Amino acid sequence: MELSTVLQNYINGQWCTSHAIDFLQVINPATVECLAKVPLSSAIETEQAIQAADQAFVNWRKTPAGDRIQFLFKLKILLEENLDNLAETITLECGKTFAESKAEIRRAIENVEVACGIPTLMQGYNSEDIARGIDEFMIRQPLGVVGIICPFNFPGMIPFWFMPYAIACGNTCIIKPSEKVPLTLQKVMHLIEQTGLPPGVLNLVNGAKEVVDALLEHPKVRAISFVGSTPVAKYVYSRAAANGKRAQCQGGAKNPVIVLPDADIETTTRIMADSAFGCAGQRCLAASVAITVGSAQKTFTEAIAEAAQSRQVGYGLDKGMQMGPVITSASKARIQDLIQKGVEEGAKALVDGRNPKIAGYEAGFFVRPTILQNVDPAGKIATTEIFGPVLSLIHLETIEDAIALINRGQYGNMACLFTSSGAAARKFRYEAEAGNIGINIGVAAPMAFFPFSGWKDSFFGDLHGQGHHAVEFFTQTKVVVERWQDWSRQF
């Protein structure tokens, strides 16, 4: 893909030049180089994709599940063969380290592998002779056309929370990538094209709010999958529900981690540094608040400060880098403003990562790892999703107080505990109000055969992405009760 290329949409098996009037630049956040221009497509172009998907659904739903997954088997091989190329693209447009980008594609491949089990995962159940001569059984059928709206922070993974399950279940799809990072899905769609997937089964429309609204309003779109901020998740969920659609909307997070005195501090620090600063803190499972209990305050504070100061920050394609830039200059400014707000609220910038000088990449959108000590539990810095490499430290005297603080929070995406006590671990996983729980784990990211959970303002809907939840979301159940005359009388 040449630099400054104007990206295309993929509709009904064809790459199409958008008729958009407005375009955005896709910027490498480390080098500030323009990688491409993305069109802000119109509702009319979205309508074309929806019509193509609706027409393709007629035959796709009739395709046996065993035949549908053959395209996914081919896709798995293509993703593995092109893993490094896809990872490089993620780093170019998203800013992650190359290792982080490769791990992201590995997660995508895992979801393809799980979705290849659809012939079993879609099975219903039956009961013979519920009454004399009467049988009853349940089957699963696809919904129809579904829309997938993607965020910027995992352009290669998050679409795969939904897409492979949707098409394996017999649905047809329209995907809208984030306008900040559309290049990865362009390459993925070229790979999907090589599988021979029938035209119209999977379509891609670049754009922004106009495309989203068109998907939310169109009567032929039966379901919406979304990942993004909580305010937008609420908007998408409410509009989808008002129009009679299913919706699964993953929102923001403020992930707390408790460190008990009996935790292994060396291991805890290493894991926590990766959690808080990996992907520059731009992931919905990044540790954001560390709550130390008792004597853990001194040992953990000293260790995590050293880890933050020593982290190698730079261009993600350079060797040895442990963290890249944040996504845009606006994100950098917002993160730094929040750090300042925390200081104004009384926190101490134990490690201050604002306005770093990264040799060779002085114009890049870099914020170094930041540690804020003695953060006010009720202050803005402790309750706002920062989405950057900032870890707030709060100290409490008991695990009961720490769990109570967690449960007062607005969000419920992830909560973690570091301890060597089985009793403490059991208490925590039972009482903590979050959908993803980690015990001595810094990023409690579910494997593809488990749902990516989330509670409170971190999720709107009933069924999450991945695994059995995805299969249930992308199918509707039909219960059949049938009676036949005694077959013996026919002979």
CATH number at residue 174: 3.40.605.10
For the stretch 150-181, pLDDT in tens is: 999 999 999 999 999 999 999 999 999 999 99
Contact call for residues 409 and 401 (beta carbons, < 8 A): no
Edge to edge, the sheet with strand 23-27 lists: 5-6, 34-39, 23-27
For the stretch 406-464, pLDDT in tens is: 999 999 999 999 999 999 999 999 999 999 999 999 999 999 999 999 999 999 999 99
Residues 78 and 162 in one domain: yes
Residue 21 within a domain: yes
d(CA 268, CA 290): 11
Burial of 241 (0-12, 13-18, 19+ CB in 10 A): middle
CATH number at residue 387: 3.40.309.10
Residues 386 and 245 in one domain: no
Q: Any residues with CB less than 8 A from the CB of 131 and at least 6 apart, and which? A: none
What confidence category does residue 3 fall into, taking pLDDT thresholds of 50, 70 and 90?
Answer: very low
Residues 31 and 157 in one domain: yes
Residues of the chain with pLDDT > 70, as a percent, come to 98
Contact call for residues 295 and 261 (beta carbons, < 8 A): yes
CA neighbor of 248 nearest in space, from 224, 274, 272: 224
Residues of the chain with pLDDT > 90, as a percent, come to 95
pTM score, whole prediction: 0.95
d(CA 4, CA 76): 29
Give the SS3 label for residue 403. Answer: helix
Task: Please state which of the ranges 118-132, 318-332, 384-398, 425-439 shows the lowest mean pLDDT.
Answer: 118-132
Residue 316 within a domain: yes
Residue 453 within a domain: no
Residue 400 within a domain: yes
Residue 305 within a domain: yes
Distance of CA 460 to the CA centre of its chain: 14
Contact call for residues 322 and 313 (beta carbons, < 8 A): yes
Residues 259 and 192 in one domain: no
Active-site positions read: 284
Number of domains in the chain: 2
pLDDT at 1: 43
Residues 234 and 290 in one domain: no
> For 71-89, what is the mean pLDDT?
98
What confidence category does residue 86 fall into, taking pLDDT thresholds of 50, 70 and 90?
Answer: very high
Residue 486 within a domain: no
Residues 245 and 260 in one domain: no
Residues 290 and 390 in one domain: yes
Q: Whole domain around residue 395: which residue ranges?
A: 255-439
Residues 231 and 263 in one domain: no
Residues 291 and 394 in one domain: yes
Residues 229 and 133 in one domain: yes
> What are the Cα distances from residue 5, in Å, to 17, 83, 118?
11, 22, 37
pLDDT at 125: 81
Residue 452 within a domain: no
Residues 210 and 299 in one domain: no
Please provide the DSSP assignment of 90-147 as one string: HHHHH---HHHHHHHHHHHHHHHHHHTTHHHHT--EEEEEEETTEEEEEEEEE-SEEE
Residues 170 and 261 in one domain: no
Task: Please state which of the ranges 129-133, 217-221, 331-335 shows the lowest mean pLDDT.
Answer: 129-133
> For 190-215, what is the mean pLDDT?
98
> For 279-296, what is the mean pLDDT?
97
d(CA 70, CA 335): 45
> For 134-141, what is the mean pLDDT?
93
> For 215-222, what is the mean pLDDT?
98
Burial of 445 (0-12, 13-18, 19+ CB in 10 A): middle
Contact call for residues 273 and 266 (beta carbons, < 8 A): no
Residue 145 within a domain: yes
